[in-house]
Chains A and B, each alone.
Chain A
Amino acid sequence: DAGITQSPRHKVTETGTPVTLRCHQTENHRYMYWYRQDPGHGLRLIHYSYGVKDTDKGEVSDGYSVSRSKTEDFLLTLESATSSQTSVYFCAITPREGQSSGNTIYFGEGSWLTVV
């Protein structure tokens, strides 16, 4: 258990509304990631963070923004949700130990988002 909590776990929202998903970790991990998982596409990286206020884009970042104002929280925001953003969103972390743990990734339980 890497101490990762995602919220909300399930959400239904309307097209055009803003949505924020929260990833909270309790063990001071440096690297945090947001992925989306869709049938036929596997896991796709949206954004990642390598420290407070240090974030970068992944392969499917359009329509998403992130913020990390403190180590324990990594927020994913959909500024104006669209139906194509209906998906399961996973937060993940890499432990602070880095190389000694083989850069193992640990995942949160997921947030199911439906945009209607």
Chain B
Amino acid sequence: GNSVTQMEGPVTLSEEAFLTINCTYTATGYPSLFWYVQYPGEGLQLLLKATKADDKGSNKGFEATYRKETTSFHLEKGSVQVSDSAVYFCALSPSGGSYIPTFGRGTSLIVHP
């Protein structure tokens, strides 16, 4: 079956540091890949997505590139802010047929001033 593995947290950074949260996946075919962000007490919001190999999703300074050869979709940001503190989820949605997505367990990011 499909699976998503993301690095365990918490990830603790100082403001303006570089962020990488690793995500790898296992799936057949060509799934779509997503990053979601969840702020305390809120639901999951779509942060960015990529629907085919070599696509780069970007939003709010965050980026992730769909790497088919390494089955990865790592999330990066050049300079984090305190307001980026949240839990980040990597997810995939299968291609064709099933619409059942698979989520990673989430990575908590804590940014200190």
Contacts and interface: CB of A to CB of B under 8 A. Distances in A.
Given A102-B32, A110-B43, A31 B99 contact: yes
Given A31-B99, A103-B99, A104-B46, A41 B105 contact: yes
Contacts of A107: 36, 43-45
Please classify how large the interface on chain B is, using the bins under 10, 10 to 19, 20 to 34, 35 or more: 20 to 34
Contact of A105 (B96, B101, B104, B105): B101
A104 B43 contact: no
Contacts of A74: none
Contacts, number: 56
Contacts of B94: 103
A56 to B, nearest CB: 9
A102 B96 CA distance: 10
A102 B51 contact: yes
A43 B100 contact: no
Interface in A64-116: 90, 94, 98-99, 102-110
A50 B95 CA distance: 16
B2 to A, nearest CB: 12
A105 B93 contact: yes
A42 B103 CA distance: 8
A109 B40 CA distance: 11
A17 to B, nearest CB: 25
B93 A103 contact: yes
A48 B98 CA distance: 11
Contact of B91 (A41, A48, A105): A105
Interface in B80-113: 89, 91, 93-96, 99-101, 103-106
Nearest to A50: B99
Interface in B44-61: 44-46, 49-51
Interface of B: 32, 34, 36, 42-46, 49-51, 89, 91, 93-96, 99-101, 103-106
Closest 9 CB pairs of A and B: A102-B32, A103-B93, A42-B105, A102-B51, A107-B43, A107-B44, A109-B43, A43-B103, A31-B99
10 contacts: A41-B105, A42-B103, A43-B103, A94-B101, A98-B99, A102-B93, A104-B49, A105-B101, A107-B44, A109-B43
